[in-house]
């Protein structure tokens, strides 16, 4: 029994020791667990606190929604002809026309609210019901699949935040939405939203979307069209009727059903809308101008005044000076004239025409090339070409205005040389002959070179250049001896504008393609009402006009004769690289240029009087068909300087 007793005794002695170890182990584990739990709790609390502090700091730096009081979204600029016909629309990424809420169809407003935010007029920027629904959907899917955003939150996202889905962004949306609803009325928010939302195909806002999808204003949309358009907001490029008519129709039915469930329409209205035929319009973004040379020239002028960014985003309404009927006449004249030149063996690949009203200096027609589809280079305003003898009227006017000459004064058409650096310059006439003593009138009529150079030297080339500047010519001009023969590069626009001042008797306004520019609210940004100033001596101009009429009646420009008094000047450069005719009546001045873009010679014997004057005449006969005959004023009416 002893072993057993001993064994039991030993067991009794060992039990307290074993219990102490267990207690020690349990106590240690308990301490570790307690410490770990405390650490986790403290860490979690720190993370939450840090996160809240981070959010607080972030949200403290959120944008101030009050800046929307002066918010002006980017808008499409529209260009019209002088009678209000739309020629082109210009925009960057966003094709948008902002309109007030009361100009948007009630049907569209209801449809958008039904599918996007039916409790819009009852919540204060955030919809708890919508958020709860979205939370449940996201929890069940394990990902962010539904936003639960109100229209106010969507507007905030579009204007201030990135589209990335994240908890912090959603909280920021909510905070800003609450702020926005404190500053703006519901109608103001809805108006901002409907003008801001993206509807696909670069259409932003209800108006441009309605014009694109249905070819009508948003104010005229019916229930069927409104439901289809409202349904596009969720995914406009995928649901677009231009891309997937069936998806667009299915989405329309969903919107209509939602409207009926809300009791905003009756079942009969729903059924009728589903059956209503939808007539689609055309995608309006980035469409080509109906008169591309016109709009290109207008864009060039607008960009100089306002800058490219303002042009593409400023929502300008630009009324140009262009007469569409006259423009079409000009374009057809250029095409027909070019065909005739080729038929006559004249190898010129391009032509330009500019017509200006001398009374206003408004450009009435502008053609920058034979075929815009083949070349978009606008030679009327971009090509700098030598005018040749068409420059001589500036020299002759300077001589007449000096008071030293009349059109009957004699000038010598005899050999002469002038020092030109280390050499001598000896001007020659086109035919190589000399006519001796000749009147200014006859020298201009038959375009003699030597008398023009002599006059330039006697009057002073800087004086001639000053007159060119007075007439609106801005291209660089150097006082070289051959300047009177047109050794300078000018545009057809500059030539037409300068000659228009001769046609007006010396009254000048800035030559322009723009009548007026307003913003989308009708505020005038630019008013180009003509403010003519008398910049030339009336007697000298009248004398010049008298001589230039002789160019057409008995000089180098007889092929330009009209059924009325007209004045003009031929132009032919050396090697026949450029040939011109620039002429006018008191109501219209027109410059026509012919040449090759690569400056290749047109052909031996090609002159402005032979080949360009008939083209000028063709256009002028059409343009002046219903315009009364008017005479130029006589020099006898004015006092000689």
Question: How far apart, in whole angstroms, are the C-alpha atoms of residue 246 and residue 244?
Answer: 5
Give the CB-side neighbour count of residue 292, counting CA atoms within 13 A.
Answer: 15
Q: Take residue 50 and report the two structure tokens written for it.
A: 């840090």
Phi and psi (nearest 5°) for 53? Answer: -65, -45
Phi and psi (nearest 5°) for 38? Answer: -65, -40
Report residue 247 CA to chain centroid gap. Answer: 34
Phi and psi (nearest 5°) for 608? Answer: -65, -35
Q: Which residues contact 424 (CB under 8 A, 6 or more apart)?
A: 417, 418
Q: Take residue 188 and report the two structure tokens written for it.
A: 């103001």
Question: How far apart, in whole angstroms, are the C-alpha atoms of residue 462 and residue 502?
Answer: 20
Residue 581: CB atoms within 10 Å: 32
Answer yes or no: are the C-beta atoms of 449 and 414 closer than 8 Å: no
* Neighbouring-strand partners of residue 571: 580
Question: How far apart, in whole angstroms, are the C-alpha atoms of residue 392 and residue 394?
Answer: 5
Q: Take residue 368 and report the two structure tokens written for it.
A: 């920058």
SS3 string, 460-487, reads: CHHHHHHHHHHCCCCCCCCCCCCHHHCC
Phi and psi (nearest 5°) for 51? Answer: -60, -45
Catalytic residues: 116, 389
Question: How far apart, in whole angstroms, are the C-alpha atoms of residue 380 and residue 369?
Answer: 8
Could you give the C-alpha distances from 554 to 240, 447, 549, 616, in angstroms and in order?
67, 12, 8, 17
Nearest to residue 386, comparing CAs of 460, 306, 477, 462? 477
Nearest to residue 155, comparing CAs of 103, 128, 120, 104? 120
Q: Take residue 347 and report the two structure tokens written for it.
A: 């190898």
Question: How far apart, in whole angstroms, are the C-alpha atoms of residue 343 and residue 239?
Answer: 54
Q: Is the alpha carbon torsion for 298, 303, 306, 309 positive or negative?
A: positive
* Neighbouring-strand partners of residue 488: none
Q: Which residues contact 65 (CB under 8 A, 6 or more apart)?
A: 156, 160, 176, 179, 180, 183, 184
């Amino acid at each position: 029994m002893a072993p057993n007793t001993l064994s039991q005794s030993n067991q009794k002695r060992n039990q307290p020791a074993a219990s102490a170890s267990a207690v020690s182990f349990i106590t240690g584990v308990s301490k570790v667990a307690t410490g770990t739990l405390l650490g986790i709790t403290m860490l979690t609390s720190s993370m939450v606190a840090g996160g809240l502090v981070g959010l607080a700091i972030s949200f403290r730096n959120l944008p101030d929604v009050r800046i929307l009081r002066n918010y002006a979204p980017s808008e499409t600029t529209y260009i019209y002809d002088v009678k209000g016909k739309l020629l082109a629309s210009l925009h960057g990424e966003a094709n948008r026309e902002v309109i007030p809420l009361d100009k948007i169809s009630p049907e569209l407003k209801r449809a958008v609210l039904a599918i996007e935010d039916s409790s819009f007029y009852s919540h204060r920027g955030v919809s708890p019901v919508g958020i709860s629904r979205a939370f449940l959907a996201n929890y069940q899917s394990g990902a962010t699949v539904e936003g639960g955003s109100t229209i106010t939150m969507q507007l905030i996202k579009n204007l201030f935040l990135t589209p990335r889905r994240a908890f912090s962004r959603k909280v920021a949306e909510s905070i800003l939405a609450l702020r926005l609803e404190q500053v703006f009325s519901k109608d103001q928010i809805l108006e901002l939203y409907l003008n801001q939302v993206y509807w696909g195909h670069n259409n932003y806002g209800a108006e441009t979307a309605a014009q694109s999808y249905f070819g009508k204003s948003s104010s005229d949309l019916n229930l069927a069209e409104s439901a289809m358009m409202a349904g596009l907001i969720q995914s406009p490029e995928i649901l677009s009727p231009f891309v997937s008519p069936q998806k667009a129709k299915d989405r329309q039915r969903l919107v209509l059903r939602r409207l009926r469930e809300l009791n905003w329409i009756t079942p009969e209205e729903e059924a009728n809308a589903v059956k209503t035929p939808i007539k689609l319009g055309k995608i309006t973004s980035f469409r080509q101008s109906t008169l591309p040379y016109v709009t290109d020239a207008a864009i060039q002028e607008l960009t100089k005044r306002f800058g490219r960014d303002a042009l593409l985003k400023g929502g300008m309404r630009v009324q140009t000076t262009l007469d569409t009927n006259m423009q079409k006449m000009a374009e057809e004249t250029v095409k027909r004239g070019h065909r005739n030149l080729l038929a006559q063996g004249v190898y010129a690949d391009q032509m330009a025409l500019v017509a200006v009203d001398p009374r206003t200096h408004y450009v009435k027609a502008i053609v920058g090339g034979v075929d815009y589809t083949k070349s978009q280079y606008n030679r009327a305003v971009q090509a700098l070409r030598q005018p040749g003898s068409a420059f001589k009227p500036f020299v002759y006017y300077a001589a007449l205005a000096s008071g030293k000459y009349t059109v009957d004064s004699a000038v010598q058409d005899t050999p002469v040389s002038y020092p030109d650096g280390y050499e001598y310059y000896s001007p020659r006439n086109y035919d190589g002959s000399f006519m001796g003593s000749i009147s200014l009138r006859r020298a201009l009529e038959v375009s003699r070179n030597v008398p023009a150079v002599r006059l330039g030297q006697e009057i002073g080339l800087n004086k001639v250049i000053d007159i060119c500047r007075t007439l609106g010519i801005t291209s660089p001009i150097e006082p070289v001896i051959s300047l009177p023969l047109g050794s300078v590069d000018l545009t057809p626009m500059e030539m037409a504008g300068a000659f228009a001042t001769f046609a007006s008797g010396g009254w000048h306004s800035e030559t322009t393609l723009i009548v007026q520019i307003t913003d989308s609210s009708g505020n005038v940004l630019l008013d180009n009402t003509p403010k003519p100033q008398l910049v030339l001596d009336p007697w000298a101009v009248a004398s010049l006009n008298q001589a230039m009429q002789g160019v057409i009646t008995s000089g180098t420009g007889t092929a330009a004769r009209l059924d009325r008094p007209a004045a003009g000047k031929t132009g032919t450069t050396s090697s026949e690289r450029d040939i011109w005719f620039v002429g006018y009546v008191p109501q219209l001045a027109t410059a026509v240029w012919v040449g090759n873009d690569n400056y290749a010679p047109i052909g031996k014997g090609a002159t402005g009087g032979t080949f360009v004057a008939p083209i000028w005449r063709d256009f002028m006969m059409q343009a002046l068909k219903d315009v009364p005959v008017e005479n130029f004023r006589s020099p006898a009416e004015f006092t000689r300087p």
